[in-house]
Amino acid sequence: MSDPYSDLGSQNKKVQAQIADALDSRCLDPSQVAIRAAYLSGLQLPADALAVEFGSGTGHVTKDLLTMAGAARAVGIEPSPILAQRAIERFSDDDRLSFEIGDAKRTGLPTGSVDLVLMHTLLCHVPGPEDVLKEAFRVLKPGGVLAICDGDYDTATAQIADFDPLDQLVRFMINQNVTNLWIMRQIGGMLTECGFNMGARQGHGYVADGDAAYFMTVIARGAERMVETGLLLSETAEALKAEAVARLKENRFFGFMSYVSQIATKPV
Ligand SMILES: C[S@@+](CC[C@H](N)C(=O)[O-])C[C@H]1O[C@@H](n2cnc3c(N)ncnc32)[C@H](O)[C@@H]1O
């Protein structure tokens, strides 16, 4: 199956709504908030900075551009009308924030007009990520900042012992929902090729904690997708989901993934 995030606007409404719920859950997770703060809060921006998030989903991370990065205005660009509408409804009370339906490869923004471009878990879903980087390079002002953060997806796991069947659900979910698992291991070469100067690179470990809400959506979506593809009986999928819930209740659940952030600048 092709990665549904790569063309979310053409997925059925149920899939878009399920993804919107999963994004909301992930964005609000305190450990995920901490990852975003770790790479966004140290950026040096001018006082009246305009920031743009490419692939803004349900809008939480676009808001971080104001609260964490210190931008004066922030715009989110998102191809899925359902996700963009959710962002508009949730954040319409803040007139420093706006959201547009659009494609990160062709934003329509004026050349050299933006101080900060953010791509948070976007590039792993885009076939031809080089075209998105070229568009960021075009719209950034000289000296403008590009911030990229994505999962290092080969590290995603729920495994607590050899041959743990729950881990297969995580791996299947990643396999079915990510276009390029290796994007953050390849990004340095792509940025250099595009003409960017490299800035800080950081690794961020994410351990599911508390109700493990985001990891539970990964487990559930992996199990449901295995049923859709005919790999599992629905009874087996329900049993595996119940195993995850039981582990959580008994403090035996473990979920982990690394994220990597990379800052780059457009030469002056
Ligand atoms: C995993 S979500 C991340 C959303 C948001 N950045 C967040 O972290 O909550 C990836 C988003 O990228 C969007 N996307 C995929 N291809 C895109 C493209 N070519 N241009 C802009 N956005 C795109 C998807 O629709 C989806 O909302």
SS (H, E, C) 224-236: HHHHHCCCCCHHH
- Structural tokens at position 6: 């790569």
Q: What one-character-per-residue DSSP string does 97-110 give?
A: EEEEE-BTTB--PP
Q: pLDDT tens, 134-147?
A: 999 999 999 999 99
Ligand 1 pocket test, pick from 2, 3, 5, 149 with the greatest ligand atom count within 8 Å of Cβ, gives 5
Domains of the chain: 4-152+179-208+259-265 (3.40.50.150)
3-state helix vs strand vs coil in the chain, percent to 5: 45, 25, 30
Cα-to-centroid distance, 199 and ligand 1 (Å): 23
Report the sign of the C-alpha dihedral through residues 31, 48, 138, 102, in that order: positive
d(CA 54, CA 56): 6
Closest CA to 206 of 152, 256, 137, 133: 256
Specify the ligand 1 atom closest to the Cα of 26.
9
CB-based pocket (< 6 A), ligand 1? 5-6, 8, 23, 27, 54-57, 60-61, 77-80, 83, 103-105, 120-122, 125-126
Protein residue whose Cα sits closest to atom 16 of ligand 1 = 6
d(CA 123, CA 42): 22
* 3-state SS class at 209: coil
Give 114's DSSP letter. E
Cα-to-centroid distance, 56 and ligand 1 (Å): 6
d(CA 123, CA 208): 23
The phi and psi torsions of 21 (rounded to 5 degrees) equal -65, -40
Ligand 1 pocket test, pick from 78, 101, 118, 119 with the greatest ligand atom count within 8 Å of Cβ, gives 78
What string of pLDDT tens digits covers the 268 residues of the chain?
Answer: 578 999 998 888 888 898 899 899 899 999 999 999 999 999 999 999 999 999 999 999 999 999 999 999 999 999 999 999 999 999 989 999 999 999 999 999 999 999 999 999 999 999 999 999 999 999 999 999 999 999 999 999 999 999 999 999 999 999 999 999 999 999 999 999 999 999 999 999 999 999 999 899 999 999 999 999 999 999 999 999 999 999 999 999 999 999 999 999 999 9
Q: pLDDT tens, 21-54?
A: 989 989 999 999 999 999 999 999 999 999 999 9
